Each structure stands twice: as C-alpha cells, then as structure tokens.
Amino acid sequence: MTTTDEFDNLTTPLETSTSPALKFSVYSRCSTTKARASKMQLPHYTASTPMFMPVGTMGSIKGITTRQLEALDCHVILGNTYHLGSRPGPELLEKAGGLHKFMAWDRGMLTDSGGFQMVSLLKLANITEEGVEFENPHDGKMMMLTPEMSIGLQNSIGADIMMQLDDVVSSLTTGPRVEEAMWRSVRWLDRSMQAHKRPTEQNLFPIVQGGLDERLRTLSATELVKRNAPGYAIGGLSGGEAKGAFWRMVSLSTDILPTNKPRYCMGVGYAEDLVVCSALGVDMYDCVFPTRTARFGNALVRTGSLALKQGRFKDDMDPIDRDCDCPTCKTYSRAYLHTTVTKDTTGCHLITVHNIAFQMRLMRDIRRAIIEDRFPSFIREFMQTRFGKTVPRWVVEALQSVGVDLTVADEKGGYAATAIDEDFQKTPNV
C-alpha cells in the first residue's frame, strides 16, 4: 500500500475545530466544489478525510485480520452497537477494556446508536418518547432502548466516535410523522449529551434528520448546530429514496453544518456516491456493500463490479484491476479467483481485501485531487470511466449544483455526457 501521505506538504490548516476528543483541521478546499481534504485527530488515530469506514458489525471485518486492515490503510472502522450490545455484551467489553482491546485494533473506531437495527431488524419495534420498545428476539420479552442506554452501551464499547440514538423513519415516509421524528431526535440528542460519561475520550455526533423535507432538514441541522458537537452526521437517507432527493438533502445539510467540523453521511458506499457527496462537502462514509458484495464474488472496479463467478472469467489472466496495488491484484488473475470465489473462505478474503483496497484508493485519489486542486477534472475522469457517455441525471444535477457541468466539455475539450433517468448503473461500463 502507498505510504506517502497526500498531506505531506501541507503545514498550515485553513481552519480547525477543537473538542476534548477530536481535532478537525481542513487543509485544502476545492476551488470549484464544496469538497475539502482534512485531518481528523481522534483519541486512537489521526484519520485523513474524505474517508470510507469499513463496517465490522460484530467486532471484525469479515475474515480480515487487524494487521491486514492496517496494511490496507484503514483509518477508522465501524462497529454496530445493537449487535455488540447483545454479543458479547457491555459487561464483557468493559472487562476487556473496550472494543479496541477486545479485537486488538488500535486505530479509529465509530459506533452507531443501535436504533437503526432496532427498527430494521425487529418487527415489533414501537417508538415512544422514552425510547425504542422492542421484543427481545432471545426470550420474547418487551425491552426498551433509550438514548441513555444507547450512550451507556457505546461508552462501554469505547469507540472514538459515538452516534446519538435517533428516531429513524424510513426515507419514504411523509407527513407529520417525519416532523415528530425530527424534533424527537433533537430531544434525544440532548438526553444523550447528558448521559455521555466519557466526553474527553469519546465524541458524540448528532444526526441531521427531517426525511426528504427541505424545511425539516433545515430546522434539524440548525437546531443541532446550536449544540456545538465535535462533528455531525447526515442520517435518514440511503433508504431507497430517489437519488435526486438524496443529494439535495445532503447538500442542504452541508450548507448549514459548520465548515470547520466533520460531516458524516451514513450508509453511503457506492463509488459514484462517494465522489458526488465529497463534492457536496461530506467527509466520512460507511457502508456494508463492499464487504458484503465480496462474499458473493463481486470485485469492485472503477467501471462497476465484476461478478467473478461468471464463466467469462475462467480464462481471463488479467488481475481484477491492473492499477490496483492490493495483495490480491498483485498476485492473482481473474481466472484463479473464478475457481475459488464463493467456494473457499480464502476466495472471499481475497475479494474482501481487494474491495476494501478499492474503497481506500478511491478515497486517497479524491483527497489527492482536492489537495492538488484538480478535483473537478478528477470527477470528469471518474464519471467518464464509470458511466461513459450517459450519466445518471442525479449525478449530473448534483455536480452542476457545485459548478461541475458534465454535459459540457471542459477546456481540454474531451468528455461531455448526457443525463439519463436511471439512478444506478445497470451494467459495468466495459
């Protein structure tokens, strides 16, 4: 992996924010878009942003050792509070000295609140002002997760960044329930801040809510900024809403959130989303997609994804990606991977390693392009590689909103795209 740090020549930050357990320094701003490249100093590690955080739900990233994760240049990983709270449970994690020690990971870590899993995994979740009431899948008894309990669990886990419990509604919900959830999330933030016992060791991030309603999002973001948190998350998106609404909510949020603090867009991990959201001023991302799709034998490339199980790869002696310097691409051909994916655990590990390396390299490229102030041309190259001549309309419009117009050829006279109505790429651009 590359050891050169793209921040090496930058000595003075443009702006900073300092909290007891986090120092955020913006070193470089794109002169066209809202993108920025920053350093985020956490109790366990100083991360470079924009960054992608692989998800290690149960306290491990699928089959990958912590030493491999370091070699892959992962700065922060994510753990799920709901899962870790039931197994191994907060008592054991406290005894172990926190999740860092329990899993032997000494870089950055972020935990979610557990609320999303409550609502998405459990059928009988009922939300009241007190908290989320749910049926314990183990014994069938009704239980309650309150904002205080979520923070208590997260204090036991000990991650560098914790998330407030929020009242999650589907991004497809409309009507008064969205406003109720938004205001309740603000009240729950206040309770969470009250309950937080380790403010000098852990950061608590509020979550901007408000569904797809501009007025509610604005209200939410404005309310949260008053709490002077070390960083902010944009939540309640990536739930199947139209991408046109998604990017508008992200952009609206980053316009209100302070420029000297990190912004985290939850549940985002597709390459084009990472590029677009970075242009909209987002700094942090997480998603299960890269590691999950690896288990089905899908390797990520700039043009999309290769389903290595397919017969067309059985004689293909090229690596997944010639330009990738991950251990898998340096050693194995697609033909070899074709023989082992979905059969052996090592087949899965090889693709997982590549997919994490893919995400990390994309983020490094984004950071470098921002620092060298050529992010707009990076975006053009990226979109040309990924989509060719036809680019999803939401991408075109999101980028137009920050001064990059893909439909017009730039001064180099090369690439110009046509907008199409599909939100996602249907087939790889090969």
Residues that bind another protein (CB under 8 A): 58-68, 71, 83, 87-88, 92, 95-96, 102-104, 311, 314-315, 317, 327-328, 331-333, 335-336, 338-340, 343-350, 353
Nearest residue to 56 via CA among 89, 39, 91, 81: 81
Nearer to another protein, 87 or 426 (CB): 87
Asked if residue 318 belongs to a known ligand binding site, the reply is no
Residues 6+ positions from 80 with CB-CB distance below 8 Å? 55, 57, 58, 111, 112, 114, 117
How many CB atoms sit inside 10 A of residue 420's CB?
14
Task: Report how far Cα 239 is from the mean position of its chain's Cα atoms.
Answer: 14
Nearer to another protein, 329 or 402 (CB): 329
Nearer to another protein, 159 or 229 (CB): 159
Give the shortest CB-318-to-another protein separation in angstroms.
11
Nearer to another protein, 294 or 369 (CB): 294
Asked if residue 324 belongs to a known ligand binding site, the reply is yes
| Residue 408 DSSP code | S
| Residue 371 DSSP code | H
Asked if residue 326 belongs to a known ligand binding site, the reply is yes
Give the shortest CB-53-to-another protein separation in angstroms.
18
Nearer to another protein, 3 or 200 (CB): 3
Nearer to another protein, 96 or 119 (CB): 96
Phi and psi at residue 285, to the nearest 5°: -145, 155
Give the shortest CB-100-to-another protein separation in angstroms.
12
- CB contact at 8 A, 387 and 381: no
- CB contact at 8 A, 119 and 125: yes
369-406 per-residue burial string, b: 16 or more CB within 10 A, e: under 16? bbbeebbbbbbbbbbbebbeeebbbbbbbbbebbebeb
Give the shortest CB-331-to-another protein separation in angstroms.
4
The single residue of 213, 283, 286, 321 carrying the catalytic annotation is 286
Whether omega before 88 lies within 30 degrees of 0, making that bond cis, reads yes
Give the tokens for residue 290: 């890269």
Residue 325, Cβ density class (10 Å: 0-12 exposed, 13-18 middle, ≥19 buried): exposed
Nearer to another protein, 102 or 358 (CB): 102
Residues 6+ positions from 26 with CB-CB distance below 8 Å? 13, 14, 15, 16, 36, 37, 38, 259, 260
Give the shortest CB-115-to-another protein separation in angstroms.
20
Asked if residue 194 belongs to a known ligand binding site, the reply is no
Asked if residue 348 belongs to a known ligand binding site, the reply is no
CA separation for the pair 305, 291 (Å, rounded)? 13
Q: Quick check: is 286 catalytic?
A: yes
Give the shortest CB-200-to-another protein separation in angstroms.
26
Asked if residue 166 belongs to a known ligand binding site, the reply is yes
Give 67-71's long-range contacts (Cβ < 8 A, gap of 24+): 68/353, 69/105, 69/107, 69/356, 70/107, 71/1, 71/327
Residue 232, classed as helix, strand or coil, is strand
Q: Where do runs of H (alpha helix) occur along 266-374?
A: 271-279, 289-295, 327-331, 334-340, 345-371
Asked if residue 112 belongs to a known ligand binding site, the reply is yes
Asked if residue 384 belongs to a known ligand binding site, the reply is no
The single residue of 112, 213, 273, 321 carrying the catalytic annotation is 112
Asked if residue 98 belongs to a known ligand binding site, the reply is no
CA separation for the pair 148, 86 (Å, rounded)? 17
Give the shortest CB-61-to-another protein separation in angstroms.
8
Q: Quick check: is 323 catalytic?
A: no
Asked if residue 220 belongs to a known ligand binding site, the reply is no
Residue with tokens 């199409």: 420
Give the shortest CB-336-to-another protein separation in angstroms.
5
Nearer to another protein, 31 or 339 (CB): 339
Q: Return binding residues for substrate.
A: 112-116, 166, 209, 236
Q: Return binding residues for Zn(2+).
A: 324, 326, 329, 354
Active site residues: 112, 286
